[in-house]
Structure formats: structure tokens, C-alpha cells
Structure 1
Amino acid sequence: MEVLPLLRPMLATSSKPYNSDGHLFEVKWDGYRCLSYLEGNTTVLYSRNGIDLTAKFPELARLHEKVNSAPAILDGEIVVFEEGKPSFAALQSRGRMKDLKTIGRTSLERPAVFVVFDVLYSGGENVMDLPLVNRKELLEEIVTGNEEIVISQFVKKDGLDFYSACVAQGLEGVMAKKLDSSYLPGRRSPYWQKFRHTREADLVICGYQQGSSGRGLGSLVLGGYRDGMLVYQGKVGTGFSEQEAGALLEGLRKLEVAEETLKVPREEKRRTIFVRPLLVCSVEYLTTTNEGFLRHPVYRGIRRDKTPEECPAVERQ
């Protein structure tokens, strides 16, 4: 029997939806990715970056009682549901809490659920080399589902119809996983692919932030018009190539202004270099945060055919 090692979860590549006899398809849960370590009388929850989340979600501290094959490592998502759907805003609110009394009270009012979709260790044995379809069967054998832990269900073959059904229900997307694939901890592999349901918006570039090194373009600060005023919509730091980032930065430096062109959150103000709000860019995004900011935006290009005044703010979704 092996000692349970500290691992990082397997990651997916992106893809357009498809059908496949060699894949299963399951919901892409909108939560915190988590590896749960179940040993003896303890449950420890680690984020994808190795952060211990156990104290943040005390309602999940007894998952070891619902699994009959400890020591075990399970892979899944911590999810908070509102009106029957995952709410990332509600989850983020939980994740920001530090006061133990507040955490305890909220764990009763808005309890989290561990949605489990894979098993890495069972009975102290490494099962990552088993084909995925066998690991799914093992999950059904070892997990007793209840209000704290549920097994993610899946379909085979019909990825397109399943994706359409998930989109219709307002879910984030779908995961496609190769039936005969092994589990590759810490690696991003095409064995797993994600179909993300995205939205589009055209927004005004109101400023920018430099990269983490203090050089180059880190992100664009975006705004949209509401009642004749620019309002903050978030920032986008992915989607542009190195060459395009250089060209954007060169153009934005010519538009720099001393005054704020829109009100940004306090933590963003110091890092933001404001520019005249003349350029419009197109972005894709998943949804909005509780504050109305874009979630997971991706830059898609400058819209030279649109004026800033034609860019309404995205409403909270």
C-alpha cells in the first residue's frame, strides 16, 4: 500500500463539440477544482494549486465517511448550487470568507457539494493507469452519494446533443473524456477536452495594465456604456499574440491620459494606466460575476467598424 502523494489534477484542452464512440461526456461543473484526500478519520481538500480548502467548507469535512475504500484520492469540483444550477458567484463569496463563525453559518445556509468525477487512489492503491471507464465503475462502487458528495453522471457517444442540452440549461459547458485514457496528474492532455459555452461582447478599451514583469502588455481594462456613462466590465489578458500585444501597447501609449476614464475597483486603480476611450475590442466570455464583471474573457480583436458609443455594458447574468 502506497502513502498518498500530493498531486495536481489532470487538465483539459479546448475543443469544439463533437460526437464520438470513444468518449464519454459530462457536465463541466462551475466550481473550485479539488482533490479530496480521504485517510482514516480525516478529509483534506486541496485546490488545483495545492491550497488547503478544508476550513473554507466545513460541511465537506466528513467525506471519508461516504467512501468505503480509504485511503483514497478523489477528483472533483466543489460547487454551490442556487436554484438548481451551479453559482460561481455564491462559491466565490464562500471562498473569500475568513471568519470561522461566518463560514460555519454560511455552510448551513448555502452548503457546498463535492461533485466527484474521478478516482486516483482507492484502498491506498494507485488506480490512475486504469482506463477511465473502469475508474468510473470503481467510483460507483466506493462512493455513497448524499447531500455532501454526488457522482457526476455522463453519457456516451452523443456529445453534440448533450452539449446543446447543457447550454439550454445555462450550464458552463461539457467535458469530453476518452474512455480508455489513464489519469495524468498535473498534465494538460487532449485525453480530456472541454466544450465551453461562451458569449460575445464589444467593449471599450479604457486603460491597460503592464505584465507581471513590469514590461509588455498584461491586460486591457474594459468598459461599456450604461446611461451615457462608461462602467467597468473587467479586464482581459488572454487571446492576443505577442506581436499583437506589442502593437496594442504601442497604440495605447499614444492615448494615455492622467485622469480616470472610468471608475475601477480599488485594487485595480494603482496598476491601471488610463487611456482615451477610443478603441473597441471584441471579447468572448463565459458569464458575469456577481458584480457584473466578465468571467474568463478572451480577446478576439479590435473592432474598427464600431464606435465606443455603440458598446453597451454587459448586464449581469
Structure 2
Amino acid sequence: MLAVAGELPPAGDDAAWGYEFKWDGVRALAAVRDGRAELWARSGTPITARYPELNPAPDGLVGTDVVVDGEVVALDRVGRPDFGLLQNRMHRTGGAEVARLAAAAPVTYLVFDVLTVAGESLLDLPYDERRERLDGLGAQGRRWVTTPWFRGGGADVHAASRDNGLEGVVAKRLDSAYRPGVRAPEWRKVKHLRMQSVVVGGWRPGKGRRAGGVGSLLVGVHDDDGRLVYAGHVGTGFTDAALRELGELLTARPRTPFAGDVPRDVARDARWAEPDLVGEVAFAAWTADGRMRHPAWRGLRDDLDVDDVVVEWSP
């Protein structure tokens, strides 16, 4: 189940909502059996081998078959999620390299919902009952954390997330059932910065110290008709390593993958790419013609399918 981007519920409706902190990581389901966890990204990709430090599961889950929902995060030195640290882990599958990275930048699995217990589906239970069941499971320990949640008090939770350098909050109606794969208004994500998943459809050559490689990206989102439309030109936020990786992953194509127009000054020296990479950008606002203002690259998102990429904030 996915949240829509939006605002905090009005004060008069606040008591009907629960609130959680928004974590800057990648969504993952975990199925625990016999003390071992199998993890899947939102796209359905198995990711257990990428994060060996998440096994075995906490002692509280031994002897209980459960499926839980949560977020894989990498924490910085002061305990805040750092997406840059996590990105170094997301695309690695080699055993020796994964082991080295797990020691250098271990991840934590933050659990915030439970879907089944001992074969019993909890999907139709209201959110507050599922959270109470989760709190009693003991999904805590090693590199697993059951996250806090709050009944009402959305403005205070939102302020606390900002004061602690977190991404924002997720508001969830206390009576909401869990609807797998559905982006539903019963869950709202309220971020301090605007974020948008994007499909990479092209790139422009670098200049100066970036000469000879990728200098910037042309990105798009799907419109209401399912067409990939141009949404902006991203030229900041890259590390040298990220640009090198993008150069290795981009696949050339002879013509634009975007429906509709791309600005001439951007398209003039563009190199088109197969639209099979998904990334995330932070940006200031949407323009009237559906372009992002001041987008900055945050990283690739291999936990998302290309078809998942739609506008998260209305222009």
C-alpha cells in the first residue's frame, strides 16, 4: 500500500489519523519463517542477498511466520537515514563486495506494518489494530526496529521530524485497511522537500571536468494516459561515482522516448536513452507547463518499476 503526496489532515480531523516518521530509504516487504527473513523490493525484486546483516531475524520473531512491511535505511553517524549511503548498497550483488559494504555501511530494517501472522491475513484490520499487533510481535533487535507511531498530534509529529532532520511524516487513517499495491488517500506522505521519482530518457555530455561522460540527465514522468512526458533537465546533485555508474547503465536509442516536445536548447545535444532507469530528484516546485524547477539528483531507485513513475505532486 502506497501513500499519496499531500498535506497534514485538518486539525478537526486529526484524531482520526495516526502518524509515523517518513524514512529516507527503500520500501521492502519481509517474510519471516524459522527465524530467517526473505526481502522483496516494491518492484517485486528479491533483495535478501543485498542486505545479509538483516538475517537472522530478531529473536522475538523466532517460531512465528509473519509478513511485515517496512523500509531499509542506512544511518549516518548521528542516527539519521542517509539515502546517499544506502545507494552504495542498492545495486550490489557480489558476495565479497556485499560483505565489505555491509561492514562499512550496515543497513537497518524499520518495520511499520504487519500483513500476516501464522498464515492469518491482517489486511482487512484497521491500521491501529495492525500496529498494536505489530508492537506485540517483538520485531526489534539486531538490525531491526519497530518504528514509533502516534495517535493524533500530526502537527507536533511533523515539527519533530523537521527538527530531527527527517524527511517528513506519513499520516494514516486509523480505520484504514491495508490495500496491497494501491496508492490510497487514506495514507498521506507529507515531506519537507518535494521529491519525485523520474524515468531517465536521455543525457547531455559533460563539460570541463565532466567532459567525456554524462554531464546531466533528461527525465520524465508518465501522464494520465500512460505516456512518458518530459519533466526536466537535472544537472546537479551528482557525485563522480554516480555519473560513472549512469554512464555504464544507460542504453542508447536513436530517438527520443518522450511523448510531446523537449525544449530545443535541451534536445540540441541530447543523447537519447532507453527509458528503463528510475531515479529520484528533489525539486522546488512544478511550473505551469509541467516541468520541475531546480531539480537535483538523489540517486537511482531500483526498488521502483518504470510504470510506477507518475506525478506525485500536482503541478
Q: Same fold (TM over 0.5)?
A: yes
Offset, 1:302: 6.4
Indicate the structure (1 or 2) with the bigger Cα radius of gyration: 1
Name the stretch that deviates more: 68-77 or 52-61: 68-77
Alignment partner, residue 2 of structure 2? 11
1:96 aligns with: 91
Confirm or deny: 8 A CA contact 2:170 2:187 kept in the other structure: yes
Deviations 1:24-83 (A, max 9, x none): 111111111111001124310011111111100001121164415621101101111012
1:98-137 deviations in Å (ceiling 9; x for gaps): 2211211221221111100000111221122222111111
Distance 1:314 1:150, change over 3 A: closer
Alignment partner of 2:136: what SS? Answer: helix
Please state how far the C-alpha of 1:182 moved relative to its aligned partner: 1.4
What's 1:50 paired with? 44
Asked if the contact 2:207/2:215 (under 8 Å) is kept, the reply is no
In structure 2, what is the Cα distance between the partners aligned to 1:312 and 1:134?
42
Structure 1 letter corresponding to 2:265: R
Q: Distance in 2 between matches of 1:14 and 1:315?
A: 19
Correspondence 1:159 to 2:148:
no
1:110 aligns with 2:121: no
C-alpha contact 1:34 1:46 (8 A) present in aligned 2: yes
Q: Which residue of 2 aligns with 1:40?
A: 34
C-alpha contact 1:224 1:314 (8 A) present in aligned 2:
no
* 2:219 equivalent among 221, 236, 259: 236
Q: Is the 8 A contact 2:34 2:64 kept in 1?
A: yes
Q: Deviations over 1:154-210 (max 9, x none)?
A: 22222122212212333222100111221111212112111122259xxxxxxxxxx
Please report how far the alpha carbon of residue 12 of structure 1 lies from its aligned counterpart in structure 2 after TM superposition. 1.2
Question: Structure 1: how far apart are the matches of 2:76 and 2:89?
Answer: 13
Name which of 16, 21, 24 aligns with 2:18. Answer: 24
CA distance in 1, matches of 2:207, 2:295: 5
Measured in 2, the distance between the counterparts of 1:179 and 1:159 equals 13
Q: Runs of 5+ in structure 1 lacking a partner?
A: 1-9, 201-210, 213-217, 250-262, 280-292, 304-310
- Which whole-Å CA distance do the structure 1 matches of 2:93 and 2:125 have between them? 39
Quote the Cα distance in structure 2 between the aligned partners of 1:99 and 1:245.
Answer: 33
- Check whether the contact 2:19–2:171 (CA below 8 A) recurs between aligned residues: yes
Q: From 61, 64, 72, give the equivalent of 1:67.
A: 61
Task: Quickly say closer, same or farther: Cα 1:270–1:160, change in 2 above 3 A.
Answer: same
Q: What CA distance in whole angstroms lies between the structure 2 residues aligned with 1:17 and 1:225?
A: 43
Q: 1:174 aligns with which of 169, 172, 175?
A: 169
**Aligned-CA RMSD value:** 4.0
Q: For residue 128 of structure 1, give the secondary structure of its aligned residue in structure 2.
A: coil
Alignment of 1:122 with 2:117, yes or no, is yes
Letter in 1 for 2:4: T
AA partner of residue 100 (structure 1):
G
Distance (whole Å) between structure 2 residues aligned to residue 223 and residue 27 of structure 1 = 39
Identity %: 28
Q: How far is 1:222 from its partner?
A: 8.6
Q: Deviations over 1:265-289 (max 9, x none)?
A: 525583586942599xxxxxxxxxx
Question: Which of 265, 281, 287 is the matching residue for 1:276?
Answer: 265
Q: Please state whether the residue corresponding to 1:86 is helix, strand or coil.
A: coil
Give the match's secondary structure for 1:238: strand
Task: Write the distance in 1 (CA, Å) between the matches of 2:109 and 2:6.
Answer: 26
Cα separation, 1, equivalents of 2:164 and 2:216: 25
Number of aligned pairs? 256
* Runs of at least 5 residues in structure 2 that lack an aligned partner in the other structure: 232-242, 257-262, 269-278, 300-315
1:295 is matched with 281
The amino acid across from 2:221 in the alignment is: T
Q: Is the 8 A contact 2:282 2:296 kept in 1?
A: no
